[in-house]
Amino acid sequence: MTLDWRVKRIAKNETSFRDINERLEAGLRQVRHTPERLEFICECGDRECESSVHVSFEEYEAVRADSRRFIVVPGHVFPETERVVSGNDRYEVVEKFGEAVEVTDASDRRSPGITGRRSDSTSP
């Protein structure tokens, strides 16, 4: 098991959680009265993770502005492939680096093609 393989597997887990959250968000937007905080699933690299994060639409969209970023439960971080760019007591935002970015860029449904989106913002 090479590091490369592990890094890509973590990124694939995260992007599949992201896809689920994208569908969740789309569904929630159809609801007339949504709570201020919505329940999304933790987008960490652990395929078995069943934790959730509570964020507003605005907070979720701020994370989604960058293809490399994922929203996770505080501490659900894989330091060999991502760094924490912002967070609070409810969630942390991690940003992928290195080879994993290829995976996270290519799988961003909001950015067709192999080039992902980038945000300069470091606040959630």
Among 7, 11, 44, 63, binds Zn ion (CB under 5 A): 44
**Measured from the CB atom, is 25 or 111 closer to Zn ion?**
25
DSSP 8-class letter at 83: E
Smallest distance from Zn ion to CB 114, Å: 27
Backbone angles phi, psi at 11, to 5 degrees: -65, -40
Structure tokens at 101: 């970015």
Smallest distance from Zn ion to CB 49, Å: 3
84 contacts Zn ion (rule: CB under 5 A): no
Among 18, 64, 76, 96, binds Zn ion (CB under 5 A): 76
Strand partners, 96: 82
Smallest distance from Zn ion to CB 71, Å: 10
Among 28, 49, 101, 106, binds Zn ion (CB under 5 A): 49
53 contacts Zn ion (rule: CB under 5 A): no
Which range of residues in 4-12, 21-29, 47-55, 63-71 is near Zn ion by CB under 5 A? Answer: 47-55
**Cβ-based burial of 84 (10 A; exposed 0-12, middle 13-18, buried ≥19):** middle
Residues recorded for the chain: 124
Asked if residues 78 and 95 have their Cβ atoms less than 8 Å apart, the reply is no
Strand partners, 56: none
- Residues near Zn ion (CB under 5 A) are 42, 44, 49, 51, 73, 76
